[in-house]
A and B are shown apart, each in its own frame.
Chain A
Amino acid sequence: MSMVYLELKGISKSFPGVKANDHISLEIEKGEVLAVVGEKGAGKTTLMNILSGFYQPDEGEIWIDGRLASIHSPSDAIALKIGMVHQHFTLVPVFTVAENIVLGAEPTRFKAVLDFKGAVKKARELSQRFGLNVDPTAVVESIPVGQQQRVEILKTLYRGAETLILDEPTSVLTPQETQELFKTIKMLSSEGKTILFVSHKLKEVLSIADRIAVLRNGKVRGVVKVKETNERELAKLMVGRDVVLEVKKSPPLVGEVLLETKGLKALNSKGLLALKGVSLQLRAGEILGIAGVEGNGQTELVEALTGLRKLEAGEIWIKRNRLKKYNPGEVRQKGLGHIPEDRQKRGLVLPFTVAYNLILGRQTQTPFSRRGWLSFAQIDTSAEERISLFDIRPPRKNVEAKNLSGGNQQKVILARELSFAPPIIIAAQPTRGLDVGATEFVYERLLKARAEGTAILLVSLDLEEIMSLSDRIIVLYEGEIRGELDASQATEEELGLLMLGVKRTDEVKA
C-alpha cells in the first residue's frame, strides 16, 4: 500500500476532435519499471506530457508519495522530482554537455555568475556515480546519439529526479546501445528510481519492465505483469484484435536486373563519407530489404539512388543503361518511383489538394499539362480514378492533403508512385507511424506491385517489417554492405550482429 509512489487518478485530456486521454488511472510503485505501451495515437505521449507539466489535464489527479500534486508547468514537474527524456532530444546542440546538464539550475558564484568549473565538476561526478560515461566538456552536437541520451538522463538526475519518464528511448539506438540503456535503467530502479518506459516495441518492453500498462484510444486496456504475459496477449490488448503479424506472400518470380549500383560513394550532410562503395543489384519481382541501425547510410543510399544526393564515385544503372544525369527529375523519368521517408515533409505538399498532390512530379507531362498550361480536366479525372483505386478517404479530390489522416496521406503517395507502374520503387520507411490497418494496406500494395514484376527496394528500421516483406536482405553498417541474407533463412540475432558491425561497440565516434 504505502509502496505506491506515483498514482494517476482518472486523467482525461481532450484536443479538438480527439480524446487523447480518457480517465486514465495507474499506480506505480517505488523502484518499479512500468512500461506504457500502445500504438501511435494511443495517448502515451500526451499522458507523459501531462506528467511532465507540458499539458494540463482536463480532469483527474496526480498523487506523488501520498500527496496530491499540481503540475502546471515543467518547473512544477522538476520540483516534484519528475524527469522526462523526450523522444526527440531537448539538448542545445551548441552548448557543452555540462552546460546542458546544469541549464536552468546552474551552479553559481555571487548568485548570478555562472560557475563553469563547478558545472563540469558536478556533471563529471554525476556521470561517474551512475556509470553514464560522457565527457562534460564536449559540445553536444559533436557526440553520438547514444551519449546524447545519457546527457538527457543525467539532466534529470542532476535535478534529483525520482521518477524518470523515457519516451521511446530506443528508437534512435543500436541494439548494443539499447542493452547499455537497459543496464542503466535496471541500476536506476535498484537505486529506488521509479521508471516509466514508453514504447511500442513489445519485445523490448517484455525484457525491461516489471509491469506493462497498455493504452488504446486514450484508455487503459489492461495492466499486466511481465511474468504473466506474452507478446501475443499484449498485441491483442494494443489493437483490440489478433494482429496477423505474419505477412502472406507468394514465392518470388524474379526477373532481370532493373537497378544496379557499382561502388556508390556519397557524403552525408556533414560532409563525411557516408556511403563507402555500395554495390547492389535489384531484380524485377523481388523486394530487397535494406536493414541497419539509423544513420548507417540508408538515407544517403536512398537519396543517391533517387538523384537527390551527389555521387562522389560509382555508377547507377537502370535497365542496363548507365545514368548520366543525377537529379530527381531525370531518375523519375527513367522509371523510378520513390516513397519518401517522411511523408508530410517530403512526400506531400500539404496545402495542395489531393488532386494536385497526385500529379506532383508529373506536372509538366502530358496529359496533365500541355505547352506549359495545366489541363484541369485531365488532372481531375485521373485523381478521381486513383482515389477510388487506392481507397483514399474522404474520397474527394479537392480536400487539402493536410486534412487527411496519416494513413490516407500515405495512400495518396502510394497512388501517385505506384499507379503509373514504374519498374522500380524505392520505399523508405513506408509504414513509419501508421496504424495497423494502414500498415497492412501498404504491405498489400507493395506485395501486389512485386507480384506484377516491380523491383522494390525497401529501407526500414523495423526489423520485423524487413524480415516479413523482403526476399533478400542487405545490411548496411557505416556505409558499407555488411552482409546479404536470404530473408527466409535470416534470424533476428544474425541480422543484429551484422547491423552492429559484429563486435564493435558504441564507442565508435560518429
Chain B
Amino acid sequence: MFREEVLAISVLYEMLPTLLNFTLAFGAVTAIAAMGGVIAERSGVINIALEGIMRIGAFTSVTAAYFWGYHFSNDPIFFELSPWIGLLAAILGGALVGLLHAYICVTWKGNQIVNGVAINIFSYGGMTYLLMQIFGTAGHSPPVPLAFANRPIVIPWIDPYSFLGKVLWQQTVFTYIALVLPILLYLFLFETTWGLRLRAVGEHPRAADTLGINVFKSRYFAVIVSGVLAGIAGANISLGISNLFTIHVPAGGGFIALAAMIFGKWNPLGALGASFFFAFFRALEVAIAVSFPALLAYIPRGVFLATPYLLTILVLAGFVGRAVPPQAIGQPYEKG
C-alpha cells in the first residue's frame, strides 16, 4: 500500500499541469459567478439565486447557440458567431432575472432570500418545462453545433508542450474572463467613485441617500450586473465546458460561488483566490478518482467535495480568519 501512495504522489506531481488546467477551467465558473455575488452583496442585496440564474443562463445560451448555429450552418462567418450569440443570450437572460430580483427586492422590498429561493425553484421547473417545449427532450438538450469548447483559445507564442502550455491547453475565453474580471471589479469597487458609492449604499444606504446617491438605482445596477455575471457563468458550463444543457447544471455551482465570495471576504480578488482554491480541490478529486481510485478508500470523494463548504463554515465561524459582510446586507431601503 505504501508504494502505491508514493506512486500516487509522484504521478500527481507529474499531473500538476493537468491539475492546474482543470483548476483553471472549473475555477472560472465559480469565479465569474462569485463576482456576481460580490457586486450584489456589496450593494446590500443578497443574491442566493446565483444557482438558478446560472441554470437559466446555461439554458438560454444553449438555446440561442443551437438555433443560430443550425440556421447559419452553411454560412461559416455567422456560424462561428454562434457561441457568442449564446453568450449574449446568457447575458440577456441573466440581466432579466437580475432585473426581476431587483424589482421585487428593491422596489417592493421583498425578502431577498425568499425571492432567491423562488428563482432557484423556478429555474429548475421552468428550464425543464422549456426544454420539453423547445427541444422536446427531458433532462438535457441536444448538443449545439458549435460551442466555445470547440474553439479553445490558442496563444501562438506559447509552446503547447511547455508547463504553461499544458496549463492553458483547451482553455476557453471564460478562463480569461475569469482572470481579468475580478481585477476589473476590484478596481471598480475600490478605486473609482462609482465603487465608493456602491459600497456606501451597501454599508449605509441612508448616508448615501443624503448625499444624493440614488440607492435604488445603485442596487438595480448591482443586481442586474450580478445576474449578467451569473448568466455568463452558466454559459461557461454549457458552452465552455460542455456543449449542451443539462438540467442539473450548475449542480451547486451557484452555492459554491457564494461560498467563494464569503471565503474571499467579499473582495473580488479574495473570491477569485477562493474559487481557484476550491476548484483545485475538485480537480484533485477528479484526478485521484481517475488515476488512483484506491486512494479514495482513505479520503473518500464525498469528503473532498464537502471540504470547500466546511472551510467556508470555518472561516465564517472565525476559526480561520473572520469574514464580515457589508452592514446593510439583506435590508430593503426605506426612504425617509
Contact = CB atoms under 8 A, between A and B. Distances in A.
Task: Report A-B touching, CB under 8 Å.
Answer: yes
Interface of A: 49, 52, 54-55, 73-75, 78, 84, 86, 90-95, 99-100, 103-106, 108, 112-114, 155
A52 B204 CA distance: 18
B213 A103 contact: yes
A99 B204 CA distance: 13
Interface in B203-229: 203-204, 206-213
Given A90-B206, A93-B203, 11 more contacts: A54-B210, A54-B335, A73-B212, A78-B212, A92-B200, A92-B204, A92-B207, A95-B203, A104-B208, A105-B211, A114-B192
Contacts of A73: 212
Contact of A90 (B192, B193, B204, B336): B204
A94 B209 CA distance: 17
B299 to A, nearest CB: 40
A49 B207 contact: no
A162 to B, nearest CB: 16
Nearest first, the 7 A-B pairs at minimum CB distance are A75-B212, A104-B211, A90-B207, A106-B193, A92-B204, A92-B203, A90-B210
A93 B326 CA distance: 11
Contact of B327 (A54, A55, A93): A93
Contacts of B194: 112
A99 B260 CA distance: 28
B192 A74 contact: no
A112 B192 contact: yes
B196 interface: yes
Contact of A103 (B191, B206, B211): B211
Nearest to B193: A106
B197 interface: yes
- The dominant DSSP class at the A interface is loop
Nearest to B203: A92
A339 B192 CA distance: 48
Contacts of A86: 210
Given A93-B327, A104-B197, A114-B192, A84 B210 contact: yes
A92 B196 CA distance: 11
Contacts of A114: 191-193, 195-196
B193 A91 contact: no
A304 B197 CA distance: 40
Contact of B212 (A74, A91, A92, A100): A74
A114 B199 CA distance: 13
22 contacts: A54-B209, A54-B210, A55-B336, A74-B210, A74-B211, A78-B211, A78-B212, A86-B210, A90-B209, A92-B200, A93-B327, A95-B200, A103-B197, A103-B207, A104-B212, A112-B192, A112-B193, A112-B194, A114-B192, A114-B193, A114-B195, A114-B196
Max chain B CB contacts within 10 Å: which of A52, A75, A99?
Answer: A75
Nearest to B206: A90
A103 B208 contact: yes
A368 B41 CA distance: 45
A401 B199 CA distance: 37
A19 to B, nearest CB: 16
A165 to B, nearest CB: 11
A95 B193 CA distance: 13
Max chain A CB contacts within 10 Å: which of B195, B207, B336?
Answer: B207
A91 B207 contact: yes
B196 A99 contact: yes
A491 B207 CA distance: 39
Contact of A104 (B195, B199, B213, B336): B213
Contacts of A100: 207
A52 B206 CA distance: 13
Interface in B305-336: 327, 335-336
B209 A74 contact: yes
Nearest to A107: B193
A54 B212 contact: no
Contacts of B204: 90-93
Nearest to A105: B211
Contact of B203 (A49, A94, A105, A155): A94
A54 B336 contact: yes
A105 B200 CA distance: 13
A164 to B, nearest CB: 13
Contacts of A108: 193
Contacts of A78: 211-212
Given A73-B212, A78-B212, A103 B200 contact: yes
Max chain B CB contacts within 10 Å: which of A74, A75, A106?
Answer: A74
Contacts of B211: 74, 78, 103-105, 155
